[in-house]
Amino acid sequence: MAAPFTRVYRPLWRIITTTTLNKGVRNVSSTRQQWSAQNVKTAGVASPWALHGAVCLQRLPVVSQDRSPIEDEFMELMHQMELERSLLSDHELRLLEDAARMSRKQEEESDEEEEDYRDKDIFTAQDLEDIWEQKLKQYQPAQRSQGVDEKGVSSSERCLAESLILLVKKDVGSQKLWLLPQIQWQTGETLRQTAERALASLPVGADLKATFLGNAPCGFYKYKYPKDIQKEGSVGAKVFFFKALLSGHKHLPLEKNSFAWVKKDELQDFLKPEYLKQVRRFIMAL
Amino acid sequence: MAGIVCRTASQIISSQASCSSVLAVRHSHWFTSVLSLKTSIPLRAEPKKKKKVDPRREIMMKERLKKKLKRLEKVPPELIPIEDFITPAKCFDETRIRDAPKLSFEESERRALLLKEWSRYKYSQHQTEMDTIEEALEAQRQALDELKLESEELYKAAVSSDMDLFPFQREGPSYTPPITNYEAPEGKYNNITRVYTQ
């Protein structure tokens, strides 16, 4: 089994913790240099931090983003410039020929010997264009944007143009908090397996198929238990986040009050500030 | 066998020859005229023995073929033409040139300014992208440091490479979302790519 580290850090911790705000859940940011200097390996003493594995399940965008005004303008310009610098295509040549032929026909109505109608196609290029137009109209694509908040926060079909993160409402101590799905680490498994278990342990976890991106965590969050819960040997908890991408389409709608699919800018409405600060770092919404 | 028969026959006939006229008596069609020279092809002879010249001739033929093959192999193989690098003849057709429109001064100014604006926009976009990536990497590095402090085994497990991840495939975003239970119409596909062999 793992031989965990021990650290001798007691006096520095007291100094740091007294300066932080007094909330139900205390958040600590430490300096790495101090810890590495005091790294003493002694077997038999368990680490006072409880380990948790959490999963950052992301539903990537299904539909491309809308263009910003400058992108629109630039696209127009590029189309124009490319058209100006191009050569005439076969279809365009045909259009010109047909137009010339029609004008000639109208001018010299009797002179038809030169036209071999039998050899030329029955359709003119303009007719072909109309036929293609008709065929296109027969196909109805699905709607791009679903309108403003047509779907609730708990549906994974909302905001198709952006990536969404799954949040779960959980009891932590006495409060109900919105968190990324997390679960306690058990001895004998790697943290990635803990994260997978966290995903599977959700009530609809079996339905959410996810691809985990690698074995390494993408971020972590550390918090100390409030003083009354702190026992000997457990100071607080460390949560390690793992990134996963949601695979597959069409998921069942989840329970509204306990699940939410949120965009990056909506995260601040759901998460606590310190937690949010750490989580924002590894969520990329470009 | 035939020789022995002929000799006995000649003995019989010579004994009779004194009394009768010399006539070639054929008791059977198998015996040709005894007194004439043996000019027929022996019909039951042994197969012809191979003369020594033949194996030598065959060896010579094989060597000549091998030399020809070597000469052919020495020639370097013809290079396969890259179709993309050869401009098709269509592009040099003069009837296809468009009349270039004349741009007014305002139009050309607008274009130049828009291009500059675009480069500024793209630069800022790139900067934000790079910053986001840097921050995500930093967060991961710190997470791994914390894990190392916690337990060496877990750290090693985290740092080990994931075999199941690659090859990784994912469909990117499209313009419209996919329609549920959509059956695409079947179409024909004529593959006209040219295949070259060396």
Percent of chain B clearing pLDDT 90 (strictly above)? 33
- pLDDT score at A28: 43
Would you state the structure tokens that stand for residue A9, as one six-digit string?
Answer: 């850090």
Distance, in Å, from the CA atom of A145 to the CA atom of A62, rounded to the nearest integer, reads 11
The per-residue pLDDT for range A85-108, each reduced to its tens digit, is 888 888 888 898 889 988 998 888
Q: Any idea what DSSP says for residue A154?
A: T
Q: Is the pLDDT of residue B141 over 90?
A: yes
- CA of B193 vs chain A CAs: smallest distance (Å): 21
Instruction: Collect all residues of chain B within an 8 Å Cβ-Cβ radius of residue A215.
Output: 157-162
The complex scores an ipTM of: 0.73
- pLDDT score at B63: 93
Would you state the structure tokens that stand for residue B145, as one six-digit string?
Answer: 């440091």
Minimum Cα–Cα distance from A48: chain B residue: B150
- pLDDT score at B56: 87
The per-residue pLDDT for range B35-50, each reduced to its tens digit, is 666 666 656 666 776 6
The per-residue pLDDT for range B50-67, each reduced to its tens digit, is 666 788 899 999 999 999
- pLDDT score at A149: 59
Distance, in Å, from the CA atom of B155 to the CA atom of A47, rounded to the nearest integer, reads 15
Max mean pLDDT range (A68-77, A239-248, B38-47, B141-150): A68-77
DSSP H helices, B151-197, are: 152-159
Other C-beta atoms within 10 Å of A168: how many? 21
Residue B37's nearest CA partner among B6, B16, B9 is B6
Q: What is the mean pLDDT of residues A275-283?
A: 91
Would you state the structure tokens that stand for residue A264, as one six-digit string?
Answer: 């990056």
The per-residue pLDDT for range B66-96, each reduced to its tens digit, is 999 998 888 888 888 888 898 888 888 888 8
Q: Do B173 and A62 touch (CB under 8 A)?
A: yes
- pLDDT score at A25: 43
In sequence order, what are the residues at sequence separation of 6 or more whose Cβ sits closer than 8 angstroms to the Cβ of residue A237?
A: A49, A50, A51, A52, A222, A223, A225
Q: Give the confidence band of A150 by pLDDT, cuts at 50, 70, 90.
A: low
Q: What is the mean pLDDT of residues B104-119?
A: 96
Instruction: Collect all residues of chain A within an 8 Å Cβ-Cβ radius of residue B89.
Output: none
Choice among A40-44, A118-122, A157-161, A215-219 with the minimum mean pLDDT: A40-44
pTM for the model: 0.67
Question: Is B44 an 8 Å CB contact of chain A?
Answer: no
Q: What is the mean pLDDT of chain A?
A: 77
Q: What is the mean pLDDT of residues A205-230?
A: 82
Distance, in Å, from the CA atom of A78 to the CA atom of A275, rounded to the nearest integer, reads 45
- pLDDT score at A69: 95
Residues 43-82 of A with CB under 8 A from B: 47, 49, 51, 60-64, 70-71, 73-74, 77, 81
Would you state the structure tokens that stand for residue B69, as one six-digit string?
Answer: 């093959």
In sequence order, what are the residues at sequence separation of 6 or more whose Cβ sits closer than 8 angstroms to the Cβ of residue A207?
A: A251, A252
Q: What is the mean pLDDT of chain B?
A: 81
Q: Give the confidence band of A4 by pLDDT, cuts at 50, 70, 90.
A: very low
Distance, in Å, from the CA atom of B142 to the CA atom of A220, rounded to the nearest integer, reads 8
Distance, in Å, from the CA atom of A283 to the CA atom of A94, rounded to the nearest integer, reads 53
Q: Do B151 and A5 touch (CB under 8 A)?
A: yes
